[in-house]
Amino acid sequence: MESNYYQKTPFITLIINDSHGIIESCAKSYIKAVSEHPIEITIIGSKGNPLCQFNSSDSIIYMNVAQDCNDPVPALMNSIASQAKGKFLLFMTSPLEIKGKWFESLISCLTSTGAEGVTSKIIYRNSIVEAGYSLLEDGTWIGYGEGAEPTDPKYNFINSIEKSSRFALLISKRTWNEVGRFDDHIKNIQLALFDLGLKLISRGYKVVYNPFCTFLLRSAPPEFNEKKVEALRPTIPFYLSHSEKSIKKKILILGVYLTEKSNNAKDIIRLLSKTQYHEVKQEWAAIGKNRIDEELENYTVLKLAEPKPKFLLLNDMLQRHNLHLYDYIIISDDDIILPFGFLDEFIYLQDKHGFYLAQPARTSNSYIDHPIVEKQNGILARQTMYVEIGPLFSIHRNAFNVILPFDVSSPMGWGYGNVWSHEFHSKGLKMGIIDHTPVDHSIRRPVENYSWKEADEQRKNYLSKHPHLKLEECFRVLEVINY
């Protein structure tokens, strides 16, 4: 750990975990509103010192940088906090950009409420991630107010809380000395911060939520728990493709994953690569600024720092291929959990029943936009008038010219299902939902990574230019296929 102190005593110490190396995008917000107050900043896990640019012009900035430390982050924070010079300590479990006059807001909240701890509103893009505190249920974090609009009055008043934040907590150095350290037995920094807040509250210290200090989340949420994946993984009751001869198919799989959101891309890639019969080529695009690990890197052909509409991106990826070489093209999102043996069973049934467009049913615990896609127990598949644009769908080669390239007047795909339903019906082509191979779609909430209003306007414009069926006409089951 390196230190660089000047003559003034800092009023507040920021202790920031930066395991993703993106502190630089947040740095300026830390000093923007505190030019009259010395602050101390400690960064854990960064590969450099992105704040050094402020040294020469702003001598009131104090910095400690811990680099390439192998110790658990909570243990490092204990060491740093014990040495901190600030009157107050602001812990962050990941780099957060702080909006507005955060310093005055936090300090005035302490003085006006008599609180010993303060939490804040955490936002990712246009949605609340946490309004003051979180809950931990079955290994999954759920932030209070998660998914709500930041301006929702329900989450915009100062109040005492009985739980704690997993992202950021401000306490006085005096309180830290009285209450003690992070629990040395807890290795996960979010859980350790949450536990520290509960410790404060249980000992009678007042902790308040201040919504007028807004933090913007810039790092990836914690990786989706592997045990949770296995707990949610659907099952296939028995394998039909093994009992009958499957014909070898050439399959192109294209997907998009978000580096700054919880995703299951690696698990999806692994399962879609496992086939006893088919020749598979997978290519994925990454959106986000976080680093990509080696396993994903092997399948990543496009990298974008900023968001790009899904089907515009997929068109770019399709142009890289001679589509006539493939029997099927599968499009996948990054937030599903597949059953073991998915690909062989799904393609076998799509091919056997002549579905030129098909999707797996969603498990009942999934986020479900349209009831028709929910798995129906006891049946093999359904010939329908509707197939969704995600989270996974498969196109037979005889439907490439009907669907591809995607019409990017609606680049997020809204309205495609209505037009596809009309086109397939008018051409006598079959589509269907395969219940035998369900997927879980509960990792992320839908429509949290783009604007609902913008996508809806694009849908209306798209539908105004194309023959289509209304949703009530689409949501029809033409045949139930039993085992």
pLDDT tens column, 210-244: 998 888 886 544 445 676 788 789 999 988 887 77
Q: N- to C-terminal Cα distance for the chain?
A: 64
Q: Which helix (H) or strand (E) holds 431?
A: strand 430-439
More confident residue, 147 or 187: 187
Q: Output phi, psi for 195, to 5 deg.
A: -65, -40
Write the single-letter amino acid at 136: L
For residue 368, name the pLDDT band (cuts at 50, 70, 90). Answer: confident
CA proximity to 25, closest of 103, 121, 96: 96
For residue 271, name the pLDDT band (cuts at 50, 70, 90). Answer: very high
pLDDT tops 50 at residue 471: yes
Q: What is the mean pLDDT of residues 5-32?
A: 67
Residues 276 and 332 in one domain: yes
Residues 207 and 264 in one domain: no
Q: pLDDT at position 51, please?
A: 47
| Final residue in a domain of this structure, among 200, 217, 234 | 217
Residues 476 and 382 in one domain: yes
pLDDT tops 50 at residue 59: no
**In the chain, helix, strand, coil percent, each to 5?**
30, 30, 45
d(CA 423, CA 426): 5
Q: What is the mean pLDDT of residues 454-461?
A: 90
Place of tokens 């629990």: 183
Residues 160 and 279 in one domain: no
d(CA 297, CA 311): 21
Q: How many domains does the chain have?
A: 2
d(CA 83, CA 177): 11
Residues 394 and 315 in one domain: yes
Decide: helix, strand or coil at residue 122.
Answer: strand
| Final residue in a domain of this structure, among 195, 217, 239 | 217
Q: pLDDT at position 25, please?
A: 59
Angle at 63 between CA 60 and CA 64, to 5 degrees: 160
Q: What percent of the chain has pLDDT over 90?
A: 55
DSSP string, 218-267: -SPPPPPPHHHHHHH----SS-STTTSPPPP-EEEEEEEEETTS---HHH
| Final residue in a domain of this structure, among 217, 236, 259 | 217
Q: What is the mean pLDDT of residues 282-291?
A: 93
Residues 319 and 464 in one domain: yes
Q: pLDDT at position 64, please?
A: 54
pLDDT tops 70 at residue 138: no
Q: pLDDT at position 3, please?
A: 38
Highest mean pLDDT among 43-57, 291-305, 322-336, 443-457: 322-336
d(CA 91, CA 25): 18
Range of the domain at 362: 226-482
Residues 161 and 234 in one domain: no
- In this structure, of 78-87, 240-249, 381-390, 428-437, the range with the lowest mean pLDDT score is 240-249
Residues 188 and 288 in one domain: no
CATH number of the domain encompassing residue 97: 3.90.550.10
pLDDT tops 80 at residue 26: no
CA proximity to 421, closest of 375, 365, 476, 459: 476
Residues 421 and 311 in one domain: yes
Residues 354 and 258 in one domain: yes
- Residue pair 430/354 in contact by the 8 Å Cβ criterion: yes
- Residue pair 297/227 in contact by the 8 Å Cβ criterion: no
Long-range CB contact pairs, 223-230, < 8 A, 24+ = 223/262, 224/262, 224/263, 224/264, 224/443, 225/139, 225/140, 227/139, 228/138, 228/139, 228/140, 229/264, 229/267, 229/337
Residues 260 and 404 in one domain: yes
Residues 179 and 241 in one domain: no
- In this structure, of 146-155, 187-196, 314-323, 445-454, the range with the lowest mean pLDDT score is 445-454
- Residue pair 207/160 in contact by the 8 Å Cβ criterion: yes
pTM of the model: 0.59
- Residue pair 60/39 in contact by the 8 Å Cβ criterion: yes
Highest mean pLDDT among 28-42, 108-122, 159-173, 445-459: 159-173
- Residue pair 345/276 in contact by the 8 Å Cβ criterion: no
- In this structure, of 125-134, 212-221, 306-315, 339-348, the range with the lowest mean pLDDT score is 212-221
Angle at 367 between CA 237 and CA 252, to 5 degrees: 65
Q: Output phi, psi for 205, to 5 deg.
A: -80, 140
Beta-strand relationship, 159-160 and 88-92: unpaired
Tokens at 319, concatenated:
């142009």
